[in-house]
Amino acid sequence: MAELFVAGLSHKTAPIAVREQLAVEEDKLREILLNVHAAGILPEVMILSTCNRVEVYGVADVPGEARALAFRHLAQQRGLDLPSLEPMLYTKSGTDAVHHCFRVAASLDSMILGEPQILGQVKEAFALAQSCQTVGPLLHRLLTQAFAVAKKVRTETELARHAVSVAYAAVELARKIFGSLDGKSILLIGAGKMGELAARHLVDQGAFPIFVANRTWSRAQEMARALAATAIPFEEWVESLATVDIVITSTGASEPIVRTVDVQRCLHARRLRPLFFIDIGVPRDVEPAVNELEPVFCYDIDDLRQVVESNIRERQREAQKAEALVEREVLRFSARAQDVEVVPTIVSLRERLEAIRRGEVEKALAGLPNADPQTRRALEAMSQSIVNKILHTPTVKLRESSRSGHGRGWTEMVQELFGLGRERDEK
């Protein structure tokens, strides 16, 4: 009997060098997907390929055989052999596969709890499998429900709310200081990667315009182009303190370049507008005494890391709520999947009894040629009520037996008792 399974490797089981080799672009992934599906042992299959995981979701009679087939194809395209991958691979089937899929989509299995990218990546993998026509009813139900679970985790918990990167922690602090970041101007001193990332996050929240100052003019221009910013000569950044709102420093200088006296000199022109320094430099770029000025706020790399550590603890607390939500949704999915086993029998039974009901009502009405509309409606209502009451107990029993793992025996008995199998044979 075909079974739902997921097999793969992730950041938990395989080093980045292996994950990088197995990760493939969409065109190659499409080819592998079609070849694996064409082999005939995977009637339903989807492949999720990211920098942190490569997983095969499928339906197969023998999941181990299907896993070997899929990863043989994935390994061959980079010259790897399957035996070298086997120790890193995991396989989950049935309810465990459902649970894993829901956790992955909800970013509970990610390297960074609550990161939003994985849901988009799962959706892209699903869309690719659909376009290759390798998705069947079971994978469709699984992934549709996984997307709904991820949405519930996002809306019913605060798993993704708390910043867990230094760059984004700076944005979180800026929002606390300014409220809205719309139209807040940024001065980027130095051209470090983390400073650039913080600037990008701020721009995503509406901050603009941006000015870039760097000792190397060509590097300032390069970063300005990347950020749609304006490059200014390095010796002119002090004058900019009178007009900008947020200053990000990441220079690599051996001693502070932002001096208290320079900041104090610009405050009169600012007319009490807050000035926020994000000092990502190690050693620090901003003199500690700057933070004592009013209305100036200064956070260095240690302050930002404390925010990150606090937020990681918050995410872990929210993850517990999310895990409980996922457990409930897995139970719901499993119950529905088990119901699918008995639904055809329930439908056939209803159709059988409905045919009997209609026949008997027609006979009764044939003997009552003068029956008025009210009498006819009463006969219809009474007969429908009888059918519903007769159906109630066997329907409940069929669903209960399916959920306890005994659905097949009960469906066969009901089919035999009501002649449902013979009726299908006659058709």
Element (H or E) spanning 298, and its range? Answer: strand 296-300
State the pLDDT at residue 350. 87
pLDDT at 162 over 80: no
pLDDT at 42 over 60: yes
Higher-confidence position of 414 and 386? 386
* Residue 419: both structure tokens together: 């002649």
What is d(CA 53, CA 251) in angstroms, rounded to the nearest whole number? Answer: 35
Place domain 3-156 in its CATH homologous superfamily. Answer: Glutamyl-tRNA reductase, N-terminal domain (3.30.460.30)
Helix runs in 285-406, H state only? 301-366, 373-403
* Residue 396: both structure tokens together: 């409940």
- Average pLDDT on 326-340 reads 81
**Within 10 A of 21 (CB to CB), how many other CB atoms are there?**
17
Question: Confidence class of residue 49 from pLDDT cuts 50, 70 and 90?
Answer: very high
What is d(CA 301, CA 350) in angstroms, rounded to the nearest whole number? Answer: 68
Residue whose pair of structure tokens reads 């089981």 in the numeric block: 13
**CATH 3.40.1410.10 applies to domain 166-305:** no
| 298 belongs to the catalytic site | no
pLDDT at 32 over 60: yes
By the 8 A CB rule, do 262 and 187 touch? no
* Residue 176: both structure tokens together: 């606390």
Closest CA to 139 of 149, 131, 148, 130: 130
State the pLDDT at residue 166. 85
State the pLDDT at residue 423. 46
- Counting other chains too, the contacts that 28-35 makes at CB distance below 8 Å and 24 or more residues apart are 28/77, 29/128, 30/128, 30/131, 30/132, 32/70, 32/73, 32/74, 32/77, 33/128, 33/129, 33/132, 33/134, 34/132, 34/134, 35/73
Instruction: List the single range of 39-48, 98-107, 391-400 with lowest mean pLDDT.
Output: 391-400
State the pLDDT at residue 1. 60
State the pLDDT at residue 271. 87
- Average pLDDT on 39-45 reads 95
By the 8 A CB rule, do 426 and 420 touch? no
Domains 3-156 and 166-305 share a fold: no
Question: Confidence class of residue 91 from pLDDT cuts 50, 70 and 90?
Answer: very high
Domain ranges of the chain: 3-156, 166-305, 338-426
* Residue 100: both structure tokens together: 């894993």
Would you say how long the chain is, in residues?
427
* Residue 262: both structure tokens together: 């320079």
Q: What are phi and psi of 415, to 5 degrees?
A: -60, -40
Report in angstroms the alpha-carbon separations of 5 from 24, 232, 356. 21, 57, 43
What is d(CA 35, CA 71) in angstroms, rounded to the nearest whole number? Answer: 12
* Residue 20: both structure tokens together: 């990088």
What is d(CA 269, CA 265) in angstroms, rounded to the nearest whole number? Answer: 8
The catalytically annotated residue of 51, 101, 132, 298 is 51
Instruction: List the single range of 88-102, 188-202, 331-345 with lowest mean pLDDT.
Output: 331-345
- Angle (CA) 256-275-230 rounded to 5° is 80
Average model confidence (pLDDT) across the chain:
90
Question: Confidence class of residue 425 from pLDDT cuts 50, 70 and 90?
Answer: very low
- Average pLDDT on 81-110 reads 95
State the pLDDT at residue 403. 64
State the pLDDT at residue 164. 82
Counting Cβ atoms within 10 Å, is residue 347 exposed (0-12), middle (13-18) or buried (19+)?
Answer: exposed
Report in angstroms the alpha-carbon separations of 306 from 161, 169, 173, 256, 290. 16, 9, 12, 22, 20
Residue 30 CA from chain centroid, whole number: 22
pLDDT at 416 over 90: no
By the 8 A CB rule, do 141 and 337 touch? yes
User: Quick one: the chain helix, strand, coil %, rounded to 5?
Assistant: 60, 10, 25
Higher-confidence position of 164 and 12? 12
State the pLDDT at residue 424. 45
b/e per residue 297-325 (b: at least 16 CB within 10 A): bbbbbebbeebbeebbebbeebbeebbeb
Instruction: List the single range of 66-70, 197-201, 344-348 with lowest mean pLDDT.
Output: 344-348
Instruction: List the single range of 72-81, 221-230, 404-413 with lowest mean pLDDT.
Output: 404-413
What pLDDT digit, counting tens, does each position of 179-213 carry? Answer: 999 999 999 999 888 888 899 999 999 999 999 99
pLDDT at 373 over 80: yes
Q: Say how many CA atoms lie within 13 Å of 23 toward its Cβ.
A: 15
